[in-house]
Structures are given as C-alpha cells and as structure tokens.
C-alpha cells in the first residue's frame, strides 16, 4: 500500500486513521488499529462510558490512555471535539501522558493547536470546506481531515460530499489531506488517494468491530443497515447523520414546523448519544452512522479491517489497469 507523507508525520505504516467516535472509541480499539499499522484514536469522553467511571472525566481519559499504552507500543491519538471540550484538564492529560497525536473538530483550530504543538503533539483538524482547511493550515496543523457529508455524526453546514470536497481541499493547501466520509473498504481508499488524499479516516467501519465499546445492538444495526438507512437531521441545530429510528423521525417532523425550537431541543436532549452508542436503544437513542453503512457486512476485529484493506488495495489497482 502506498506510503504517504502522513505515514511519516504520524510514524505509522499505513495511512489509515480510525475515527474518534464519541463515547465508543476506546483504548482496546485504538490499540488494535495501531498494532495493525494504522492510527488508533481514543475519544476524549470515552471514559464516561465505562462501568467503572467515577465522574472525573480527566482521570478517566488518563486511565484509558494508560490502557492503550499497555496494549501497544505504536502511536495512537486522542480526539477532542472543540465545541464539547470545555475543561482544560482534558487537554492537559494528552500532554502529560505524552500522546503523539490529537485530532480536533467542531470548532476553530486557533483554540488548541498551539497548545498541543508546543508540547510536540501532532495535530490533525477536521474541516468541511476549503475555507476551513486554509484557516487550519494557517494555524499550523500538521494535516487536515476533509470530511464529507456522508460521514456519521456531526457534519458541516455546507453539505459538501467527500468526492467534491476532497480534491478542492487538496488543491488549496500544502499540508497532507486525509479523506473522511463514505469510506469503508479498499475501493474507497483507492478513490480517496486518486483524488489527492494522503490518508483516510473511517468511523462507521470501526464501529462494527469486536474491540469497539459500542453496544452489540448498535454494531448489529450498522451491519443490517442498507444504503438508505441513515438520515441527516438537525439542520437548525447542527447537521447530524445517524441511523433512522423513532427519535429521528420525530425530530424531522418538528423541524418541518416553524415554531418548534423549544420542543425540538427537548426531543434531541443531551443523553441520546449515550442511549444509542452505549445502551443500545435503537429507537430512542442517537446512532451516529455514515451513509457507507450499507457496505459494512460483518463484525470483525479492528486489525482485520486494516489488514483486509491493505490486502485488497493492490487488486483494486490491478482492476483499473485492466480496464
């Protein structure tokens, strides 16, 4: 598989990054991806999903990092959604524990980039437009993750799909660009590289893995999903892609009404992601999931996900040469 600048920057074998899925990107998952040659990522709030959680989110993250360090000697990272990371002690954990990489998203790269860079940590920032990519580059990030509207979870306001967004970001910046959104197999990886990406980030594919902390019912729902089983909701609150269920249909009904802001916020609530991701409530929880779920057919180890892609890339390339 092609070695890119991203591999050299992150000290990884293959340019494959596991997404930092909120609450469920755990140490075991990150270590498995890193051990297979990619870059595993821990969600900053994952500790709060553990049965042993005592209420100290920073200490929980520290324990999660220690667990990952006991499982791999390869680099791994931590994901910090800027809009949701209000406590500075969470940021300081990554520095104190000598984490090699962080990914940041959902906010301005000007807030945390210098803090992490001064500590010698590599920073990758998620962007959804050329404008945001240029700003992130100007702030000194090491790479940007161009995430298209196909991605699960929170999305950009401009609704740009990956195939449109990616080459425009590649043309606009000098730093490496990672493709995210709509990638789950070797075909997606090759397509991303053809459009100029120097790596890929995948979330939904890694939900359906044995190591992921996601509830078994959530994993099974991803495997059962078809091409039309995800939906974007929250255009008035912040676009989010999840699996369709009773809760999303209610949200969409309220969004169609002009005067429903209060009721809409109440229905969305603050515990939906925990209900879906951790508790496995398939009807009343939020189930962040990319539109690529229809390509996810099995629950396998995270290492096997990486190895399968690496093994299949040459066959995809060979098929292009034969056509």
Q: Is residue 267 part of a domain?
A: no
114 assigned to some structural domain: yes
Which domain covers residue 101, as residue numbers? 5-213
Beta-carbon contacts of residue 42 (< 8 Å; ≥ 6 apart): 20, 25, 26, 27, 30, 61, 64, 65, 68, 76, 77, 78, 79
What's the CATH code of the domain at 80?
Answer: 3.20.20.70
Angstrom CA distances, 159 to 13, 89, 126, 151, 232, stand at 32, 33, 14, 11, 10
What pLDDT score was predicted for residue 43? 96
313 assigned to some structural domain:
no
In a domain, 16, yes or no: yes
Structure tokens at 276: 């879906």
Answer yes or no: is pLDDT of 131 > 90. yes
Q: Is 63 within the bounds of a domain? A: yes
Per the structure, how many domains does the chain have?
1
pLDDT tens digits for range 79-104: 999 876 557 889 999 999 999 999 99
pLDDT of residue 323: 58
Q: Does 205 reside within a domain?
A: yes
User: Does residue 157 carry a pLDDT above 90?
Assistant: no
This prediction's pTM: 0.95
Is the residue at 236 inside a domain? Answer: no
Q: What is the mean pLDDT of residues 292-296?
A: 97
Question: Does any domain span residue 318?
Answer: no
Distance, first Cα to last Cα, the chain: 21
């Amino acid at each position: 598989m092609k070695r890119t600048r991203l591999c050299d920057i992150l000290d990884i074998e293959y340019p494959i990054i596991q997404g930092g899925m909120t609450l469920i990107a755990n140490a075991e998952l990150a270590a498995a991806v890193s051990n297979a040659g990619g870059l595993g990522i821990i969600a900053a709030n994952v500790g709060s999903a553990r049965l042993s959680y005592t209420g100290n989110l920073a200490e929980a993250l520290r324990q999660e990092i220690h667990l990952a360090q006991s499982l791999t000697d390869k680099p791994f990272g931590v994901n910090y959604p800027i809009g949701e990371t209000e406590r500075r002690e969470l940021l300081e954990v990554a520095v104190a524990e000598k984490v090699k990489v962080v990914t940041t998203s959902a906010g301005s790269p000007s807030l945390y980039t210098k803090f992490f860079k001064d500590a010698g940590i590599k920073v990758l920032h998620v962007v959804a437009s050329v404008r945001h990519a240029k700003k992130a580059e100007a702030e000194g990030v090491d790479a940007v993750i161009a995430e298209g509207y196909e991605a699960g979870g929170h999305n950009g306001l401009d609704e740009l799909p990956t195939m449109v967004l990616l080459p425009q970001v590649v043309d606009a910046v000098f730093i490496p660009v990672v493709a995210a959104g709509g990638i789950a197999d070797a075909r997606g990886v090759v397509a991303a590289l053809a459009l100029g990406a120097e790596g890929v980030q995948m979330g939904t594919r890694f939900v359906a893995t044995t190591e992921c902390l996601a509830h078994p019912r959530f994993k099974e729902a991803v495997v059962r999903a078809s091409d039309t089983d995800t939906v974007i909701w929250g255009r008035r609150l912040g676009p989010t892609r999840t699996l369709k269920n009773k809760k999303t249909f209610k949200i969409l009904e309220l969004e169609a009404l002009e005067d429903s802001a209060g009721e809409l916020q109440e229905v969305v609530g603050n515990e939906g992601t925990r209900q879906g991701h951790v508790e496995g409530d398939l009807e009343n929880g939020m189930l962040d999931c990319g539109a690529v779920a229809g390509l996810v057919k099995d629950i396998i180890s995270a290492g096997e996900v990486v190895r399968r892609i690496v093994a299949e890339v040459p066959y995809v390339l060979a098929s292009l040469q034969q056509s």
